[in-house]
Structure 1
Amino acid sequence: MLSVGTFLPAKADGGGVIAPDEHAVLLGLLEQTPGWEVVHGLDFRESHIRRGRVYCGDVCLSDLDVYLWHVDFARKPGSYDLDALLTLNRDTLVIPDPEQVAVAFDKHWAYLTLDRAGVAVPDSVLVSARNVEAAEPALAEWGCAVLKPRRGCFGWGVTFIDSFTTLRDIVGYIDAETTETRVRGVSQAASGRSFLLERFYPNSPHDWLGVTFVGGEIAYGFRKDGDRHARWNDTAWKVYDAGRGGGSVRYQEVPPSHTGLLHAARRAFDLPLVGFDVICHEGRPMVVDVNTGPALYEELFAAAGKTMAHELHRAYAAAVHRATGEQLQRSAR
């Protein structure tokens, strides 16, 4: 019997994205899974760690065989939420794997991972405030670029850059507002904060596509409505969600020209739930974002002839079965 803990809150709860009706069905399906003994509602964000063991109230999560989670959480380096998951992952099978999640939600590391998997991604350069001038040759070559928060989402902070002067001054402003210039009379070179500059590729909102994978299969594709489009000028735009609430989507079939790229991207991270944003530049699809906690839309599952709860249960059950099988194979060697 596997002891399985979960934190899969409904959309009405803080950070949850699962529709309430589907949430109740999902929890029931998990409880009925043969060979599982399930405890729900174990919020790792409210846990504490003692001697490398993770506790949620009186429950030691580190004693569980499996821990399933899907919720928004603090993503910055050094945040407690990520530390709790990474610590728990040393003793317990955590799904999704927080190490994979940490790579996938960081745009710099996500692009490197995808590029090495043969997936088309934007050209980019990573610099710090100490050497921002190193980005000037790339910007001169590209003409225009986009400055992106490495762990950002919903389009917040994504800034169009059309000159090195603009880039230099934005980096200088951020650094001046967030670091001390002198400490005990000794001047500091700069904060060392990294800045990800990504080549801007002209593209149309009509070709932008979001794709959500559940359990290794494409669940649905979608496009954002016009109220989620923010224009910098006549030719440059971004997806922007001021309320960070998702929504304003419509179902879209995934074209065959995209499927090979998308499946290669999915295999690069091998997460039970993952989403990708794709643009087309000169007829070529390109992944421009990875979503480790994709919004789950009941109406889009329905449009694809699926139900959210059953697809999520299939994904989690398959991930547990595969991972526990691999563990048994390793222990038998």
Structure 2
Amino acid sequence: MKKNKVAIHIPAIDNKSETKKGFLRASEVLSLEKLLRESPAIDFMGNIDFHKVRVENNKFVSEGVDLAETDLFFWFAPNMQKSIPLLSALNNHTRVIKNPVSFATTADKFLAHSLLKSKGLPVAEFALISCDDIDMMKSLLAEWKTLILKPRLGSFGRGIIKIDKLETLRDIAGMLRMEHQQKNIFIEKFYENDPEEWTSTTLINGKIIYGYRKKLEKFADWKVYDPKAIGGGSFWVDPQPVKALAEKAAATLDTSIVGFDFIKTQEGYKIVDENNFPGFYPECFEKAEKEESRLIADLIISSLSV
């Protein structure tokens, strides 16, 4: 039986630290490495630091391993945004998971919302408008009454502003254009909702693993706000009410590890955020009777046969 060469890039955190979004605990990384070494289908090349990759004539070498010669390279690290072009180039030579194209789409709230809506999924109503389009601003405020201004590539609630006055929206858009050379702004309709009915989800390999909800101390008024981007402060909730929607959304984005934030409105559940790095919370995995390392090992092994 031919073995497939597999390398991974997964930074670990200390078991004593609060689990951060997108990182596995050190014990789970070691367990994953053991599962991959013991798999009869895999020739495990190691947990390679992708930040040390040097590229020469399509050889992507780090720590003595040419990643272009592997059959699959798996990465799971939130600090890789600037490495997406390099991962995309590597994807021309081997299979890269997380897929960098899907990652880029999911990271961009406009692209993700647009794709999900095209497949009939209930995303919050949204618009992408010019910073100079005052008429469109007036029209949206007249229709929606209250809206939310979001950074397209934002996370952890940072930079999200609730607006109900034209003057505020106009002035913020003008500042973004002048100070940051930003041409467009991304806007969502604001829906009245109860934070105690929010459901966030974690999906691996297309299947929902669990739902979770942020504790109220993580909220700043109407939104989750985590300025230090440390995650945590969550507890398990039953994902069944949003299971079908979340799994269809994951399939639509064609991404192997993803999460969605749902709010419950008078119109039903709405997707208000897509997360490339959903919460990986030990207590939630335990409640769901799942192991992170086994789920990721199964994802890697199943991807080899596709």
Q: TM exceeds 0.5?
A: yes
Alignment of 1:19-34 (within 5 A): 19-34=25-40
* Cα deviation 1:310-333 (Å, max 9, x = unaligned): 1221222222322xxxxxxxxxxx
| Structure-2 separation of matches of 1:304 and 1:22 | 16
| 1:280 is aligned to 2:264 | yes
| 1:215 is aligned to 2:205 | yes
1:193: how far off? 3.1
Structure 1 unmatched runs, 5+: 179-190, 232-236, 323-333
| Structure-2 separation of matches of 1:222 and 1:198 | 23
Contact 1:47 1:55 in 2 (8 A): yes
Q: Taking every aligned residue pair, what percent have the same amino acid on both sides? A: 30
| Residue 236 of structure 2, aligned match among 251, 260, 269 | 251
| 1:124 is aligned to 2:126 | yes
SS at match of 2:284: helix
| Residue 88 of structure 1, aligned match among 86, 90, 97 | 90
SS at match of 1:28: helix
1:261: how far off? 1.5
Amino acid at match of 1:254: P
Task: Quickly say closer, same or farther: Cα 1:53–1:143, change in 2 above 3 A.
Answer: farther
Contact 2:263 2:269 in 1 (8 A): yes
| Residue 183 of structure 2, aligned match among 164, 181, 193 | 193
Corresponding residue of 1:44: 50
Task: Quickly say closer, same or farther: Cα 1:132–1:96, change in 2 above 3 A.
Answer: farther
* Cα deviation 1:140-179 (Å, max 9, x = unaligned): 210011111111111111111111211111122233323x
Corresponding residue of 1:97: 99
- RMSD, matched Cα: 2.0
1:272: how far off? 2.0
TM-score scaled by length of structure 2: 0.92
Contact 1:150 1:196 in 2 (8 A): yes
| Structure-2 separation of matches of 1:302 and 1:317 | 23
For CA contacts below 8 A with separation 6 or more, give which structure has more relative contact order. Answer: 2
Deviates more, 1:165-174 or 1:131-140: 131-140
| Residue 138 of structure 1, aligned match among 137, 140, 157 | 140
Report the count of equivalent residues: 300
1:192: how far off? 4.7
| Structure-1 separation of matches of 2:280 and 2:11 | 12
| Structure-2 separation of matches of 1:133 and 1:150 | 22
| Structure-2 separation of matches of 1:297 and 1:84 | 29
| Structure-2 separation of matches of 1:54 and 1:29 | 25
Amino acid at match of 1:307: E
| Structure-1 separation of matches of 2:34 and 2:284 | 22
Amino acid at match of 2:256: P
| 1:321 is aligned to 2:301 | no
* Cα deviation 1:47-106 (Å, max 9, x = unaligned): 23334443325432212211011001243xxx3x11111110111100111101110110
Deviates more, 1:192-201 or 1:105-114: 192-201
Contact 2:203 2:247 in 1 (8 A): no
* Cα deviation 1:190-242 (Å, max 9, x = unaligned): x35331011111111011011111222211111100111111xxxxx111112
Amino acid at match of 1:269: L
Contact 1:117 1:264 in 2 (8 A): no
Task: Quickly say closer, same or farther: Cα 1:265–1:59, change in 2 above 3 A.
Answer: same
Contact 1:26 1:313 in 2 (8 A): yes
| 1:226 is aligned to 2:216 | yes
Structure 2 unmatched runs, 5+: none
SS at match of 1:280: strand
| Structure-2 separation of matches of 1:223 and 1:192 | 33
* Cα deviation 1:247-293 (Å, max 9, x = unaligned): 1011101233x222122112112322111100011150111111112
Corresponding residue of 1:267: 251
1:306: how far off? 1.6
Contact 1:272 1:319 in 2 (8 A): no
Task: Quickly say closer, same or farther: Cα 1:215–1:88, change in 2 above 3 A.
Answer: same
| Structure-1 separation of matches of 2:134 and 2:34 | 53
Task: Quickly say closer, same or farther: Cα 1:69–1:94, change in 2 above 3 A.
Answer: same
| Residue 283 of structure 2, aligned match among 267, 284, 299 | 299
